[in-house]
Every structure is written in structure tokens, then in C-alpha cells.
Amino acid sequence: MNDTKTISVVIPAFNEEECIAALIDRLKEIMDKLKYPYEVIIVDDGSKDRTFEVIRELSVKYKFLKGVKLSRNMGHQAALDCGLKHASGDAVISMDADLQHPPELIPQMVKLWEEGYEIVYTQKLENQQATLLYKVWAKTFYSLFNKYSQIKLTPSGSDFRLMGRKSLEAVLSMPEYHKFFRGLVPFVGFKSTSISFDVQKRFAGKRKYNFKQSMKLASDGLFSFSDFALKIPFIIGGIALIIILLYLLYTLILLIFHGTVIMQGWTSVIAILVLSISIQLIFMGVLGVYIGKIFFEVKRRPVFFADETVGELKVIK
Ligand code: UDP
Ligand code: MG
């Protein structure tokens, strides 16, 4: 172990003015006990409240505290990307600003890193506060994801994790626009382990993710790591083709040997027509989702724009 190694803590925050001071207090107490020099980078994701002012005020007292303010609300994953890119530590820990991720877990994560683990994941134990709708949604998403994607996600995974410099550089080398770190991190591989924790109550304020954002995150994850949906038309089209060929053969046999012509009537014709049109439209929609993603990828737009910064941050290329 090398004492000159440093640790960065990266925290995206959107309208979290009430949480920042308590978060910094709890973090400082924990980080001071570790023997590494550290920095805490809070990325203000275009908050409308005093989040950035609070960061600025506290940074006068605490030199380890640094801040980046994004030019507008760009989303949790974009803010996380910004923080990770600005982090200079040999180990970088990402966590939420609302104290749902207990800083008290950090020493254990650091210890595992010292033992040689490149990535330390955390897994949430049963979240009592989650609504039924959320639980059903999460279960559906993870089972779909794991069935069809290149990587396996744990249903109770979170963005509270430690990454060593090597794995962080690997994750940051992937230039995609639609970031989904919960997928990108396992994608790079490396020696990893996981620890469990009890999700704490939000320190203050309300959940910042609405259902639409959760859906967007899930779709970014699902469609960036799997092209399975694009293959479904092949399967359904193939099955339909076999059925229709068998049916034609059957009518031909009846015609040849019995001289009977099968007349099915309008209803069945219209039903088949509507069914095939709707199936085609659904698959055009699937293509649309992928083309939409490609549309944003080819523009090569930056994931975030920084407005102001506080403290000495690593310069990003
Ligand atoms: N967050 C963010 N930008 C957003 C939404 C959320 O930076 O557009 C931050 C938020 O401040 C918090 C973390 O992402 O630090 C997780 O958000 P939240 O607590 O609302 O989600 P939950 O913990 O309920 O999944
Ligand atoms: Mg939260």
C-alpha cells in the first residue's frame, strides 16, 4: 500500500441545498480517519435552489471540497460523468447527495480496494420506502435486462461504488452519449466484489427522479447493452411465414384432392391485415428507438456543459 495514493468522492446533486452541509459533516468525519488525502467533488446538476452557494460557502472552510455547476439540469448520469471525469484520486467513490448511501460504508470499500479489488459495488438490502409500483418496475427491468444483455446486473445495485483508477479510465474511455454507469462499470470487467447496505432515509427533500426519468434511465440501459429487440421481427416473421406456408399447402391439398376452396370471409382477412400492420408498426417503433439513440450518438455532443467551478479540479481533455 502506498500512502501517497488519494481518494476522490464524487456526488451529483440536484436541488439538495438541505442535504449538503450534513453530507459534508458525515463524510469529513469518515474520510479524516482514513490515511489518504482526499477530495470531495459535488456536481450541481443545474439546481434551482442554493445548492451551489452552499458548496461555495463550505469550500472556504474545507479545502477538500470542490464543486462543478452544470449549465442546466442534465440528469444524474450526466452529472456523475462530469464528476468522474474531474476526479483525480487513485480510487474514486461515487454516491448520492441525500445520504441514502451511508458514508460509514466507505472504510470497508477502501479496505477491499487495498486488498486488490479494482471495483467495489454496493447492493441495497430491501428498500422499505420503495413504492409497489417502483418495486414492480425494477423487477421487470432487471429480469428483462439480464435475459437479453451482454452483462448481468444485480437488481439491488446502486450508483454507490468504488472504482480504482484503472477501471475508471476504462469506463470513461467509452464515449457514448447515453450513459448508464450501472451497466458500463460491469461491462469493463476487472476484479470486483460487492457489499450490502441498508438504504437510509433521504436526509431532506424529495426524490429527484420522476417516473419518466426512471423509464429513460432503464431504456438507456436496456437498449445500450442489447440488440435483442431488433431481432424479434426475425423470430416472429419466421414463425408467421412457416404458419402461412403450411396453411397454403393445406388449401392446395384440399383443392387438388377434394376440389374444395376454403372461403374464410372478410372478418379473418381484416383481422390478419390489422394484426400484421400493428406488428409491423411495433417493430418500426423498435427500430425508431435504436435510430433515435444512433441519432444522438452520431452528433457527438458533450454529455454535460460546466458553468462554474469551485476549488482546484483536474483539467479534463
Ligand atoms: N440527481 C441529479 N440530477 C437529477 C436527478 C437526481 O444529480 O436530475 C441526483 C440527486 O441529487 C441524488 C441522486 O442523483 O444525489 C439520486 O437521486 P434521488 O435521490 O432523487 O434518486 P433515488 O435515490 O430516489 O433513486
Ligand atoms: Mg436518493
- pLDDT tens across the length of the chain (317 residues): 556 899 999 999 999 999 999 999 999 999 999 989 999 999 999 999 999 999 999 999 999 999 999 999 999 999 999 999 999 999 999 999 999 999 999 999 999 999 999 999 998 887 666 677 777 877 887 887 788 777 777 777 789 999 999 999 999 999 888 888 988 999 999 999 999 888 888 888 888 877 777 777 777 777 777 777 777 777 787 788 788 778 778 888 888 888 777 656 766 677 678 778 877 887 888 888 888 888 888 988 899 999 999 988 888 87
C-alpha cell belonging to residue 300: 457527438
| All residues with CB under 5 Å from ion ligand 2 | 96, 98, 100
* Ligand 1 neighbour 97 (Cβ under 6 A): yes
Report CA(207)–ligand 2 centroid distance (Å).
6
Determine the atom of ligand 1 nearest the C-alpha atom of 206: 20
Determine the atom of ligand 1 nearest the C-alpha atom of 14: 11
For residue 84, the model assigns a pLDDT of: 97
For residue 289, the model assigns a pLDDT of: 83
Indicate the domain borders of the chain. 7-226+302-310, 228-299
Q: Kindly report the protein residue whose alpha carbon is nearest to atom 14 of ligand 1.
A: 76
Residue from 74, 76, 99 to probe ligand 1 pocket by mutation (most atoms less than 8 Å from CB): 76
* Ligand 1 neighbour 69 (Cβ under 6 A): no
* SS3 sequence of the chain: CCCCCCEEEEEEECCCHHHHHHHHHHHHHHHHHCCCCEEEEEEECCCCCCHHHHHHHHHHHCCCEEEEEECCCCCHHHHHHHHHHHCCCCEEEECCCCCCCCHHHHHHHHHHHHCCCCEEEEEECCCCCCCHHHHHHHHHHHHHHHHHCCCCCCCCECCCEEEEHHHHHHHHCCCCCCCCHHHHHHHHCCCEEEEEECCCCCCCCCCCCCHHHHHHHHHHHHHHHCCHHHHHHHHHHHHHHHHHHHHHHHHHHHHHHHCCCCCCCHHHHHHHHHHHHHHHHHHHHHHHHHHHHHHHHHHCCCCCCEEEEECCCCCCC
Determine the atom of ligand 1 nearest the C-alpha atom of 12: 7
* Ligand 1 neighbour 73 (Cβ under 6 A): yes
* Ligand 1 neighbour 46 (Cβ under 6 A): no
State the ligand closest to the CA atom of 206: 1
Which CATH number is 7-226+302-310 given? Answer: 3.90.550.10
User: What is the rounded CA–CA span in Å between residue 27 and residue 304?
Assistant: 26
User: What is the rounded CA–CA span in Å between residue 76 and residue 82?
Assistant: 10
